[in-house]
Structure 1
Amino acid sequence: MTRIVFIMPDSQRIEIDAQDGLSIMECARRANVPGIVAECGGACSCATCHVYIDAPWCGVLGEAAGMERDMLEFADSVRENSRLSCQVKVTPDLDGLTVHLPEGQV
């Protein structure tokens, strides 16, 4: 299992054990993390699983590209470190990954 930390807009931390091979979104929904609505179920067509990747991890994950980048145009408060959590697969290399939830989603 890979540990992922979600930071809520009020600074509350929610740490989960994420199953490798699933997306961050799938793991968050299984753990009932608030703010990860994922209306489309991971099809990259709604932007309701928008997260901010903590700065130290941006280089590991890289920037959004293709459909994900296009879909982020529909999200609120997009930043350079914005990603759709449905498009990021959990791997052991991401152990300790920290993501922040946008205020408008919680």
Structure 2
Amino acid sequence: MQQDIKITIIDREGHAHTVDAPTDMNMNLMELVRSYELAPEGTIGVCGGMAMCASCQCYVLSDHELPEMSYDEDAMLAEAFHVQENSRLGCQIHIHEALDGLQIQLAPES
């Protein structure tokens, strides 16, 4: 049986939250942020996780190996504000066991 992992999310006010993330629900990071209400409603996941708005942009702070960026994610980040070298769209990173200990910071609202 799969179990929860720990992920640390730094919200837009700079507060760190270490949360339990289920590995058996096919959730992504954007959905995790929404489920713990770590960003005001309507400010994250605006497009519903389709890589079309960049409202779930985050900075990956830990050294975890992530899936390669898709063309859609890369294209959306090319048009987003506040993009950094470690920027990813939270909706495109699905939670699995190898992400235990992942640390991310939510990008500022555009």
TM over 0.5: yes
Question: In the aligned structure 2, how far is the partner of 1:64 from the partner of 1:52?
Answer: 14
Q: Which residue of 1 aligns with 2:95?
A: 90
RMSD: 1.9
How far off is 1:64 after superposition? 2.5
1:22-66: CA deviation from partner (whole Å, max 9, x where unpaired): 111111111111166110110111110000001422xx1155231
Q: Which of the two has higher C-alpha Rg?
A: 2
Please give the TM-score of this superposition, normalised by the length of structure 2: 0.82
Percent of aligned positions that are identical = 32
Inter-partner Cα distance in structure 1 for 2:68 and 2:96? 17
Structure 2 segments unaligned to the other structure (5+ residues) = none
Q: When you count helix as a share of all residues, which structure comes out higher?
A: 1
In the comparison of the two structures, how many residue pairs are matched? 103
The CA distance in 2 between the partners of 1:95 and 1:15, in whole Å, is: 11
Q: Which runs of 5+ in 1 are unaligned?
A: none
